[in-house]
Each structure stands twice: as C-alpha cells, then as structure tokens.
Structure 1
Amino acid sequence: MSTRDEPPAAQLHPDVEALLEMVAAGVESGARVPLPRLTPEQARADFDASSPLLDVAVAALPHEAALRLPMRDGERIAARLYALHRPDPAAPLPVTLALHGGGFVVGSLDSHESLWRDLAVRSGAAVLAVAYRLAPEHRFPTAFEDACDALAWIGREGRNAGLDPGRVALFGDSAGGTLAAGLALAARDTPGLPRPCLQVLAYPGLAARQDSNSYRRFGRGYLLEAETVAWFFAQYLRDEADRRDWRFAPLEAADLAGTAPALIVLPACDPLLDEGRAYGERLRAAGVSVTSRIVPGMVHEFLRMGNVVEDALVVRAEIADALAAAFRQRPAFRQPALGQQSASADA
C-alpha cells in the first residue's frame, strides 16, 4: 500500500465493466428497477437478494453469536459477533466494530455477512457487526448514535463478552465508512468510549455536498448513481442543515487531530473518490497517520464483489493484515491473578 494518494486510473477492470454492462442491460430491459424507483422496503429486499450473487460465500465461523445491544433510547438493535476462537473474558479478543454500507437506507447484517466473516478469518480478530437503524423510519442522527452506543457497549460490556476494549478497530464501507469516520472523531472527544487503534474507511461518504470532479465524472454509469445518492440522502436527512453536521459529513469537522490512524480504501472509478482523498489529506495535515489505497479499475461496493473480480479478495486481505498489525501494536488485556484481584477488591 502507498502512504500517499496516487493519480486515479479511470479505466475499468474488464470483469467490473462486464458487470456494469449487465446491470445497464437489466435496467434497459426492465428486468432491474433502479433503487430510487422502489420503496425503501423493496430496495432493502433487492439489495440483500443481490449480495450473494456478487460475493463469495464464506462458511460460518466456529464461534458466531446473535446479540441485542442496548441503545440510548431504550431500544435494542441486532448485532452479530464472528470469531475463529471462542471469546474468553480471561484473554479477550481484539475486535473490529463493523458498520455496513447502503446509503443509510439499505444494507443489513445479511448483505455483508461474507465480508465480515472473511475479515474475521483473515485478521484473526473478532468482528462485531451492527444493524444500526435505517432511514426513513429512523432519520439522522439515529444511525450515528447507534454506532456510538455499540462502541460504548464494547467499552462497558466487551470484556465480559470476551472482547478487549483496549484493542478496538472501526471498519465501515460506504455509509458505514461515514459512520466509522464520525465515530473515530466521537471516540476522541467522548469520555468512556474506547479509543480505536485503526479506522478503516472503504469508499466513505464524507462531504456535505456531492459536487466534486469525481462525482461529476463517475456519477452515472459506474454503479453508484448520482440519482441513487440523492434518494438515499432524501430518506436520511431531516433538513438541509444536517448536511453541515460532521456526524453526516466528517469533512465538516473543524479539527481532525488526535483521531485514530486511518486506512482509506478508494476505488478509482467512484463518485466518492475525491472526498476520500480530501479526507486523507486533511487527516495527514492534522498529524494523523494515514495509508491511502486507490484501487485501479474498481467501482463503489467492490469489496463485496468477490464473485466478480479477484482484486476484491486481494484488497480484503490487505485490510485484514492492517487490522492484525494494528492490534499487535496494542497490549492485550490479561485477567489479573487471583491475588491481584483480591488486593484490588480490598482496596
């Protein structure tokens, strides 16, 4: 991986180009209906149904658990924990808090399950995937608050669940990347939230306005359509003022210093490319360690296209290696010896 953004290559990978031609033909024939012409419920079903066709199937891990995490408003949201090894409170596992993409409207635990399992296998760490609540039923900032409350749960209850709150990373793709970037800022400023050792942002949305050169260049015909993004945000945002809130647009944050080291993964043919590059430069200017990876020939969502293009699996392996390296740099929690526990309790 390079440590600096490289000039993007606009030429599509042949396998990705074939996929885009198939999508376009389906829309033209009427066999495929664009998301903005569906109801949110229909769009979610369509998104989940297409996911297994795009990605490789990853077998269930030896230790998977369904959880219900408490939120600040009294509700509980679904989450899934994936691990190769049984979580043990005496020697807890490092954990990646995983936030799925889907424009804050679609996406689910099911749509990204192969990706989460793959990251758990390749990194050797646990992955906690969170089903944050979706719009329009739950508008901004509910998704962000759900992500914060999931991180707070790791800090509060993680050790009892066999997870190490001292070795936490954040991973998000697309809208999940937006949430992960905002969560890294919140963790810097909020007492009690675990401080992540790495934030992995895969083709995140980061800007208040979608008016960059890459947005104009790749906003039509490269999978993520400008029309779709506008539809997503119309469902998610309460009003225009929300666009200037850093919890929606992390590029609006006044100061990025002190946030977790970042790995930013950007497809070269993605409308969101320029805002990802801009965020990386702002992080560097604030003294944050940043590794940028611009992947030639790829489009939005490519990490979940293991059945389409081999590069998806290659980059997933690189991300897992980065997670494992970040966890190795943090000391692991060890349960105090019995005598130490007694002394602490007596004190």
Structure 2
Amino acid sequence: MPLDPDLEGFLELAQMGRLTGKSQPMHTLSVEQARREFEQTSAILDPSPPGSVAVTELTVTARDGHVLPARLYRAPGTAQLPAIVYIHGGGYVVGSLDSHDSICRRLAASGQYAVFAPAYRLAPEAGFPTAVNDTLDAANWLAEQAGNLQLDSRRITVAGDSVGATLATVLAITAVKTPQQLAFKPWAQLLFYPVTDTSRQRNSHRQYAEDYLLETATLEWFYQHYCPHAQQRLDWRVSPLLAEGLTALAPAYISLAQYDPLYDEGQAYAQLLEASGTAVTLQVQSGLTHDFLRMNGITSAVAGIYAEVLSWLEEQR
C-alpha cells in the first residue's frame, strides 16, 4: 500500500525543511538539540489530545536512590481500574513524559484503563542497563502502590513504543525468566514498532533507511549512545529477539508500521513469541511510518488503531 496521503504530505514538508536548511537529521544534531526538536514535534503530531483526562504527578525512587518522575492518567469518576504501564520511546536518548503525553491520554480517555507512565534516565548520561533497571523499579513500585492508587494489580498490561516497547518486553520476559525480580505477572503486552535486535541490520533497515521519519543512521546514533560496547547489543534486555529458551509470555499485541526500518525485526520478534507458545496478535499498519501512535493530528488512520487496541485488551479478560 502507498504511503498514507496525509502522512506523505507531512513527510514532504519535512524533506523540504532539510533542503532549505531549516532542519537536519537527528543523528547530525547534538543530544541537547535532538531532545529539544523531538519535544517540539509533539504539538505538531497531535495538537489536541483529550483534555478531560485527570493526570496525577508521581515520583518513584530507583534502586540507587535517584528520584524518577511518573504520571497516572485516568478518566474522571472511575473507580478501581486495570492499569497499562506505558513506557515512552525515543531511542533511549530523546523522549519524555511530555513527548508521549498524548498517547497516554488517548489510552486512558475511554475510562476502561488507567495509564501509568514512568520516566527513565536517558543516554548518554545513563547508558545500559540504567533504563532497564529504572523501568523494573517503576513497575514494582506500581504493583506495591496499586491498592492506594485504586488499581487492579491482577490486571497490569505492559506497553510501549519503539525502545519503550523493548523495555516492555523486558518486563514481560523477566516475569517468566526471573519472576523474583518483578512483583506482578503482566496481563498482556502492547508492543508498538519495537526495537528487538540492535546487533544487526535487516532488509527493512536498507529499504526504509531515509525519508520515512525514522532513519537507520539515527537508530545507530541512538544505539551508540546507549550501548557504546558492541557486546552490550547482544544482551536480550537490549535485543529481546536474542533471548534464549523463552516459554509462553503474556499475550502480545504487536503493531508495526509498513514503512519503518524496524519492520523486519518486529516481524521476527512476533515469530519468536509464537514459537514460544505466546498468544500473538500481529497488526501491520499499512501506509504508516514509525511513531504513528503520536500522529493523531496528521492522519485519521490513528484513531482506529487506538480503538482496535482497546478492543483487543477487552478480549483478554
């Protein structure tokens, strides 16, 4: 299927900005510049997220004493709810609670689920495995505080996009591989265009290397900041596709973008989960690129994706 026409127009404008020198590829910027530009895209991609959702600011203390910000999103007037732990993407280098605020609002707006969004420390200031440890600590904190927050600790879904999805897979695998490290067993997984193998490139890395929002060179830039040593990329907590001896995990909903350098490794990870006995629902979003979940203001196709996700979660009850 060709590119979504609205998204194609947006990408053409972005390309024009490069030709006129108004913007540059992320991997050519400093870390500080890249973070600023990424944050600024949020208001363009989804300028009008649901405003009625109640947002509570929280803090989580990590194992080394570092205090991490977090947020809890829920529709007003809701009682005890199942929870979605939503972990933001950004290549471990960019991204924040603010950049992915619209996603959390849209998942919480129906009133069916509360959304817990934890922050984690970014690279290069904090390299591997800090993001993994921060995410585990935040997830365990949520399980401990579920009753106080009026959340159902028996139904916690782990979710995320891009490397946020990678961190969600870490939680799901940890729950089975080393269950003593996680205080709950995930109810389900929502994995949007996950990074599953940083150790090699596949055909989609070459086919969609440029001009489709996320660039292959930018991926490498991210990985160099987070995993400066090649051996780190072979760790399953960075490349879950390399996890060995997997048994059945929580049911997984995997949503990939057709025009994404990560497409092939996403397909490969879905196959690995199926081989492990995990129930997998794989959706390929035709005509869309990486980061589509933040694009409600660009293309009308995104609203239907959220509806499908929430419908799938209800089927897991």
Same fold, TM-score > 0.5, yes or no: yes
**C-alpha distance after superposition, 1:216-263 (max 9, x if no partner):** 111111111111111111111141111000000000100231211100
Distance in 1, Cα, partners of 2:190 & 2:200: 22
1:227 aligns with 2:186: no
**The one of 85, 90, 99 aligned to 2:87:** 99
Partner of 1:159 in structure 2? 147
**The one of 116, 124, 131 aligned to 1:143:** 131
Partner of 1:270 in structure 2? 260
1:258 aligns with 2:248: yes
**C-alpha distance after superposition, 1:145-196 (max 9, x if no partner):** 1111111112222212222211100110011011111111012222242111
Q: State the 1:34 CA deviation.
A: 1.7
What does 1:175-254 correspond to in 2, within 5 Å?
175-188=163-176, 189-191=178-180, 192-254=182-244
**The one of 302, 305, 309 aligned to 1:312:** 302
Partner of 2:38 in structure 1? 47
> Which residue type is aligned with residue 48 of structure 2?
A
Q: State the 1:18 CA deviation.
A: 1.1
Larger Rg belongs to: 1
> Which residue type is aligned with residue 283 of structure 2?
R
1:59 aligns with 2:50: yes
Which sections of structure 1, spanning at least 5 residues, go unmatched? 1-8, 330-347
Percent of pairs with identical residues:
40
> How many equivalent pairs are there?
315
Partner of 1:121 in structure 2? 109
CA contact (8 A) 1:208 1:251 kept: no
> Which residue type is aligned with residue 91 of structure 2?
G
Question: TM-score if structure 1 supplies the norm length?
Answer: 0.87
> Which residue type is aligned with residue 313 of structure 2?
L
Distance in 1, Cα, partners of 2:70 & 2:146: 13
CA contact (8 A) 1:94 1:126 kept: yes
Q: State the 1:208 CA deviation.
A: 3.1
**The one of 66, 79, 96 aligned to 1:75:** 66
Q: State the 1:143 CA deviation.
A: 0.7
1:108 aligns with 2:96: yes
What does 1:294-309 correspond to in 2, within 5 Å?
294-309=284-299
CA contact (8 A) 1:63 1:86 kept: no
Which sections of structure 2, spanning at least 5 residues, go unmatched? none
Q: State the 1:50 CA deviation.
A: 1.2
Calculate the aligned-residue CA RMSD, in Å: 1.5
> Which residue type is aligned with residue 213 of structure 1?
N
CA contact (8 A) 1:208 1:252 kept: no
**C-alpha distance after superposition, 1:59-98 (max 9, x if no partner):** 334532000011111111000100014576xxx3211000
Partner of 2:16 in structure 1? 25
Question: TM-score if structure 2 supplies the norm length?
Answer: 0.95
Distance in 2, Cα, partners of 1:20 & 1:210: 27
Distance in 1, Cα, partners of 2:243 & 2:296: 34
CA contact (8 A) 2:74 2:111 kept: no
> Which residue type is aligned with residue 89 of structure 2?
G
Counterparts in 2 of 1:74 and 1:105: CA distance versus 1, 3 Å: same
Distance in 1, Cα, partners of 2:123 & 2:23: 23
